[in-house]
């Protein structure tokens, strides 16, 4: 999708980190941006940043776990702007622990946000991307955890592997349409992402609340790539129809390669 100027982008998980950087980068490319998140204060900050780059911003508080809420977000985008051209299903959370000890409600929360949130985005937005017949693009955020073996965050890796599978299916299903697809699998990125994301209500219980959350996240990803760099790589992928977007993945490539070789050399009968 070469032409972004004046087109419409929609981004979930846009109050912070990679989602905010995507929204701002799309605005810098001349797009208008609709943003969704559960963090309404963060959404307002992202909306301000989009407007500072000259774009129109529509902020819609949305919990991506709720299919009806995502449908309302998609409808609001088209009502406000008339169409949608680029959609980023980006919201994600994580919980840590041993796979067999992680409480069921943590498993469900992570899968609900990081996998079902993407399914809801696909179901509500792909028909609207196809409806106008103009070029469009869908970006689903997975992770290195969707491609590689990462212990102690099994709900996250399960959700992210599922996003990889879903997005590969979509690539095949959308071949021959004007809608391109990208799979964003970052390695470590500087953001508020915490491998043990506090659940709703828990942030307030941390000694110094949101500041502690940001500190934990920085400690988790001291060598992370700036989110703005990830956003620029993603915009390039949208423009040039690249499927895989793998920021900061170099450290994981030997592990991915040896795992792939093991698959290819496994007995098949």
Ligand X SMILES: NC(=O)c1ccc[n+]([C@@H]2O[C@H](COP(=O)([O-])OP(=O)(O)OC[C@H]3O[C@@H](n4cnc5c(N)ncnc54)[C@H](O)[C@@H]3O)[C@@H](O)[C@H]2O)c1
- Distance between CA atoms of residues 153 and 217, nearest Å: 15
Alpha-helical (H) ranges within 89-205 are 104-111, 117-131, 154-173
Out of 33, 37, 148, 245, point to the residue binding ligand X (CB under 6 A).
37
| Radius of gyration of the CA atoms of the chain, in A | 18
Cα–Cα distances (Å) from 201 to 205, 206, 210, in that order, read 7, 10, 11
Instruction: Indicate the helix (H) or strand (E) that contains 86.
Output: strand 86-89
Among the listed residues 145, 156, 185, 186, the single catalytic one is: 156
Comparing CB distances to ligand X, the nearer of 74 and 93 is 93
By CB under 6 A, residue 183 contacts ligand X: no
Known catalytic membership, residue 156: yes
The footprint of ligand X on residues 115-154 (CB under 6 A) is 141, 143
Neighbouring residues of 198: CB distance < 8 A, sequence distance ≥ 6: 205, 206, 213
- Of the candidates 142, 115, 139, 108, the one whose C-alpha atom is nearest the C-alpha of residue 125 is 139
- Distance between CA atoms of residues 255 and 264, nearest Å: 14
The footprint of ligand X on residues 65-94 (CB under 6 A) is 65, 90-93
Comparing CB distances to ligand X, the nearer of 120 and 135 is 120
Comparing CB distances to ligand X, the nearer of 86 and 114 is 114
> Using CB under 6 A, which of the segments 35-43, 132-140, 201-209, 235-243 binds ligand X?
35-43
Comparing CB distances to ligand X, the nearer of 60 and 135 is 60
> Using CB under 6 A, which of the segments 38-46, 76-84, 173-181, 234-242 binds ligand X?
38-46
Could you give the residue numbers annotated as active site? 156
List interacting residues with ligand X (CB under 6 A).
12-13, 15-19, 37-39, 42, 62-65, 90-93, 113-114, 141, 143, 186, 188-189, 191-193, 221, 224
């Amino acid at each position: 999708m070469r032409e972004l100027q004046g087109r419409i982008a929609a981004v979930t998980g846009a109050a912070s980190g990679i989602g905010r950087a995507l929204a701002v980068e799309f605005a810098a490319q001349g797009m208008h941006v609709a943003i969704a998140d559960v963090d309404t204060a963060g959404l307002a900050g992202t909306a301000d940043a989009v407007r500072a780059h000259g774009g129109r911003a529509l902020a819609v508080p949305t919990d991506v776990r709720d299919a009806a809420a995502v449908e309302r977000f998609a409808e609001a985008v088209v009502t406000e702007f008339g169409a949608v051209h680029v959609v980023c299903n980006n919201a994600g959370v994580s919980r840590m622990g041993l796979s067999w000890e992680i409480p069921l409600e943590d498993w469900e929360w992570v899968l609900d946000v990081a996998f079902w949130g993407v399914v809801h985005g696909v179901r509500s937005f792909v028909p609207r991307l196809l409806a106008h017949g103009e070029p469009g693009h869908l970006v689903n955020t997975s992770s290195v955890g969707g491609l590689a073996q990462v212990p102690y965050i099994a709900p996250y890796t399960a959700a992210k592997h599922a996003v990889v599978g879903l997005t590969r299916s979509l690539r095949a299903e959308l071949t021959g349409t004007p809608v391109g697809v990208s799979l964003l699998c970052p390695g470590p990125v500087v953001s508020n992402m915490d491998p043990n994301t506090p659940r709703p209500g828990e942030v307030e219980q941390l000694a110094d609340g949101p500041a502690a959350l940001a500190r934990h996240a920085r400690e988790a990803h001291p060598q992370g790539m700036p989110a703005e760099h990830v956003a620029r790589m993603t915009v390039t992928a949208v423009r040039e129809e690249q499927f895989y977007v793998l920021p900061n993945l170099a450290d994981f490539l030997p592990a991915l390669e040896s795992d792939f070789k093991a698959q290819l050399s496994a007995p098949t009968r």
